[in-house]
Amino acid sequence: MSKLKGREVMQRATFLRFNAKMILKFDLSGLDEIEDARRVIEYCRSMVEKMPKKSIVGLVDLTGLKVADEMTHEMIRLMESCGQFVRATAVLADDAESVRLAKAVSTHFGGIDLPIYQEEEAAKEWLFSQ
């Protein structure tokens, strides 16, 4: 059963300003219920699909995600539907499960450039350079 309230779901998909660039941060960090993760994914999808093609620079935070092993299919579906809107994406991951999730998504799409970072600032620097 979902623990997140509607407002909490919306707060997990936010735009950050980094230097002169806007980054869409998609935050799955610390979630321990698959239903909560799915709700956040669906909200993020609804935001992304309203944007111009190739306009989004995204940061996906998987740190502390307790259901990473169960999320591969959902993340692949998200990338399939939103890939046309995204110019570059970086991932924050801090454990074997979240790293495995990011690598599975990258592999599914033929080894797309999906760099994995442990520090948010390093990920933002990479995204800024794209």
pLDDT band at 111 (very low <50, low <70, confident <90, very high): confident
| Domain regions of the chain by residue span | 6-128
DSSP string for the chain: -----HHHHHTTEEEEEETTEEEEEEE-TT---HHHHHHHHHHHHHHHTTSPTT-EEEEEE-TT-TTGGG-HHHHHHHHHHHGGGEEEEEEE--SHHHHHHHHHHHHHTTS----EESSHHHHHHHHHT-
Instruction: Write the pLDDT tens digit of every residue in 23-72.
Output: 999 999 999 999 999 999 999 999 999 999 998 999 999 999 999 889 99
CA distance 52 to 39: 23
Class of domain 6-128: alpha beta
Q: Is the pLDDT of residue 20 over 80?
A: no
Instruction: Write the pLDDT tens digit of every residue in 60-106.
Output: 999 999 998 899 999 999 989 988 999 999 999 999 999 999 999 99
Instruction: Write the pLDDT tens digit of every residue in 33-47.
Output: 999 999 999 999 999
Residue whose token pair is 């799955």: 28
